[in-house]
Chains A and B, each alone.
Chain A
Amino acid sequence: MNTLNAMALPLSISLSAVSGLGVLFALLGQPVISGGWFNALLVLAVAAVLALRLPTPWRSGLLALLALTLTLMLRANNEDKIAFYLLLAVLIASFLLPNLTRLVRIALGASILLIAIPLAGLSNSFLFELGIQIGIFAALALGLNLVVGQAGLLDLGFAAFFAVGAYTWGIFGSPQAAQFIGGFPAQGLEGNFLYLFMALAIITAAITGVLIGLPALRLRGDYLALVTLGLGEVVRILANNLDKPLNITNGPQGITPVNRPDVGILADFLRAIGAERIYGRPIDDAIAYAFFFYLLVLVVIGIVLLTNLRLANSRFGRAWVAIREDEIAAKAMGIPLLATKLLAFATGAAFSGIMGAVFAAKQTFVSPESFTLQASIAILAFVILGGMGSIGGAVVGAAAVTVLNLGILKDFSDLLNTWRQTGVSILGYNMSNLPPQLNPAKYERMVFGLILILMMIYRPEGLIPEKRHRVELQEAREEAKEGSRI
């Protein structure tokens, strides 16, 4: 390990430099190394810069170099998802690595979010989709993190608030509202009302949070989990059945098409900067909307993050932590338990409500199937993976699991499919005999389950632990050690 530390700087520099040069050659039309090997090199370079101990200026410089390299790489080959994942890793690292200056963080973050990813997304809109999904899930994870991580209240029905937000816009921004409100515009409110309804979704979700919280939050932690699970399921059942006596949600059929805001200006902007050259086709609605929702999610997640950070350091944030650590002590210190818990519930719900409205517009359809227990557990898995109570952790957890589920597992499925069709043998097993039920794309439940179990057993503080939590767990470990010695 010592030799590795000594080698850290030269190793990182050389790996980054070689990959940078490689991209330059590839762009000039003379690829030196073939695709797969080059990706491996990039992975090594990014891992080296992120994981090894480097002096601050060098790390900043190398991160910037890698970000540039990866952006160019994505320009050269827009199907290269690995470069995209690495770009995300660099982005997240630039916020989380300890020894970077604020200026470097902001510059790196802004250039990746506003230049690199849009460039990549314009040539391959799936990357936008991935970015949007990560943003949506990150907001949900932040909301649940506030409830579970910061206030210590286990909510197993969190998808309900997402549903409320989605239906708030889904019903009024589509032909649905005209079904039960006489005189309502037949096609629903036009798309630009979305911005108003994002605000309304915050309110409706927060109210739902209070309504669910009022009975649930009087209970102890374990009952709370069960009751929220039940009430979350009640919200889904209601969405699935309120097509009679009055057709409010259109039941299992779901609501479609949900209107989207006007993106004419954005499309004009894309045309003006000559984005057709990157897109490869004239700018159409598909790409304009992908870009629009990417930006919208970015703005919303920014607001959510800012609110969350401010709250965490406020009187309320400290009250939540106090309740999490010891409810009775907190009560003794004069913290109003129910009101403080309700505030956590309502705020968390509001975060997911606003994203729900965005989700409805982005998907252009809303159906109860998006808000099952599995969705609630998925959000919990994001929080646990990242680290309960850790704001950065919630975002990392959401990003990692989303990339795994939407990207890597699906890619792996496609690879297996190719093998199955071409009849490749691996270790003497003919791949064409592989049952389709074993499709890795379907392993979400197992992934969530394993994340929850393994993290709880081996690293309960999560990938990016909250500071306070880390200390506490270390103490607990030491106590346990001492205990066993006795």
Chain B
Amino acid sequence: MKRFATIALGVLALGVASAQPNVIKIASVSPLSGPQSGLGTAIAQGAQIAIEDAQARFQQLGFQLQFAPQDDQATPDVGVAVARRIVNDADLLGIVGHLNSGVAIAASEIYKDTNLVMVSPANTNPRVTDRGLLNVNRICGRDDIQGPVGAEYAVRVLRRSRLFVVHDKTPYGQGLAEAFAARARELGANVVALVGTEEASNFQPLILQMRALRPDLVYYGGIYDKGGVLVKQMRERGITATFMGGDGLDASDLVKIAGSASKGVLFTTTAGPISTLPRAAAFAQRYKAKFGRDAEAYAVYAFDAANVILTAIEASIRANNGRKPTREQVARAVREVRMDGLTGRIEFDSKGDRKLSDYYIISLREARYPGEVLRVIQFAPPAARQ
């Protein structure tokens, strides 16, 4: 009988909320736990600030605006499960996320069924938008530009000719590394290796290969949690080749992991350091005050992504005579958004890529984050150029 009562009380405590007519929810979906939680938390927190800013405005329109951060654990399986769960919440009108392209591609197939709009702050894999889904957009750039931009810098500017390309066997890392290697080969450099590894601790076999192949640049397609360890072990074993990567390295945790080995690390990113974004200074201060840590690039991108969704919702509420819009209306409105975000002018093309994005090449010259911007290049996505 006791067990019976405990179960009953437990269930009672859970309670069940029912749908309220005047609530609008925005969710962020990113890894909040696990090795990549550093970047994922930045995304959730950036979006949270944007939503808290807008709450008063929505109150005046007669809506209570709520924020629902979700954890996709950086795995497609969990991402899909989360997606299937949240699409059923009728109050949910927009998604800020994901961090990992592999997760985004799988989950957006679920959002697609109900036209739930997703604005990604971080998914750079070309396939994310190349599928031409109405509901998928991104604030950041693309790997088929980011990789080649890195390759041009490595080969033309740094004059590196023996390139050792590593990736972490994720869709993001592999896509980026392959785009880099392809462009580097076109430019006449010798790609001495293109290898993937799931290893997280022991990179010695790769480092031994580097000893044999003597590359002058090691390119890493992947996230900082493994990239940082790789560069640290490389430097300990006396491999002095330049270490370069993509925006997965763009995190303060890279410096925390690699320590002094992060000195001189180069990476391309589509999210410039906050210091280069004039309007972001105030945001950075508030972020620091609220969360007690420095805002990272993806926090700014998530802030912009959330604001795009909020702007679109407001526009569609007005178009809808003050009533709650449908998801499809919001998705269409996102494509119409023209606004100045912290990261510059935001306008989407017909695939959901930004009409123009900036690509930065950054050097951690002093082993401190954020690094020093070496170059900014503006690119349009392939579809818009045609």
For the complex, give the distance between the alpha carbons of A411 and B68 in Å: 12
Interface positions of A from 121 to 152, Cβ below 8 Å from B? 124-126, 129
Bitwise, B68-94 to A at CB < 8 A (1) or not (0) is: 110101011100111011011000000
| B154 nearest CB across to chain A (Å) | 23
For the complex, give the distance between the alpha carbons of A79 and B15 in Å: 11
Q: Which residues of B contact A (CB under 8 A)?
A: 1, 4, 7-8, 11-12, 14-19, 32-34, 37, 41, 44, 48, 66-69, 71, 73, 75-77, 80-82, 84-85, 87-88, 102, 105-106, 109, 113-114, 169-171, 174-175, 196, 198
Instruction: Contact check, A43 vs B106: say whether CB atoms are below 8 A apart.
Output: no
A185 is an interface residue with CB less than 8 A from chain B? no
Known contacts A43-B7, A256-B109, A369-B75; decide if A436 and B14 are in contact (CB<8 Å): no
Instruction: Contact check, A47 vs B4: say whether CB atoms are below 8 A apart.
Output: yes
Instruction: Contact check, B8 vs A47: say whether CB atoms are below 8 A apart.
Output: yes
For the complex, give the distance between the alpha carbons of A71 and B69 in Å: 31
Instruction: Contact check, A421 vs B169: say whether CB atoms are below 8 A apart.
Output: no
For the complex, give the distance between the alpha carbons of A241 and B174 in Å: 12
Known contacts A1-B1, A36-B12, A252-B102; decide if A437 and B32 are in contact (CB<8 Å): yes
Instruction: Contact check, B84 vs A82: say whether CB atoms are below 8 A apart.
Output: no
Please indicate the chain B residues that have their CB under 8 angstroms from the CB of A251 in the complex: 169, 174, 196
Residue of B nearest to A367 (CB): B76
Stretch at the interface among A314-322, A330-338, A412-420: A412-420
Instruction: Contact check, B175 vs A437: say whether CB atoms are below 8 A apart.
Output: no
| B114 nearest CB across to chain A (Å) | 6
Instruction: Contact check, A40 vs B11: say whether CB atoms are below 8 A apart.
Output: yes
Instruction: Contact check, A77 vs B18: say whether CB atoms are below 8 A apart.
Output: yes
For the complex, give the distance between the alpha carbons of A77 and B11 in Å: 17
Report which of B17, B102, B175 forms a contact with A254, defined as CB distance below 8 A: B102
For the complex, give the distance between the alpha carbons of A35 and B20 in Å: 13
Besides the contacts A254-B102, A415-B14, what 6 more A-B pairs have beta carbons closer than 8 Å? Answer: A1-B1, A43-B7, A47-B4, A364-B109, A415-B15, A439-B33
Known contacts A40-B8, A436-B37; decide if A4 and B1 are in contact (CB<8 Å): yes
Instruction: Contact check, B71 vs A40: say whether CB atoms are below 8 A apart.
Output: no
Instruction: Contact check, A126 vs B84: say whether CB atoms are below 8 A apart.
Output: yes
Please indicate the chain A residues that have their CB under 8 angstroms from the CB of B15 in the complex: 35-36, 39, 415
Instruction: Contact check, B33 vs A442: say whether CB atoms are below 8 A apart.
Output: yes
24 contacts between A and B (CB under 8 A): A4-B1, A39-B11, A39-B12, A40-B8, A43-B7, A51-B4, A77-B18, A79-B16, A80-B16, A81-B16, A82-B11, A126-B85, A240-B198, A253-B174, A254-B171, A256-B106, A367-B76, A367-B102, A369-B75, A369-B76, A408-B14, A410-B85, A411-B14, A415-B15
Please indicate the chain A residues that have their CB under 8 angstroms from the CB of B69 in the complex: 417, 436
Instruction: Contact check, B32 vs A365: say whether CB atoms are below 8 A apart.
Output: no
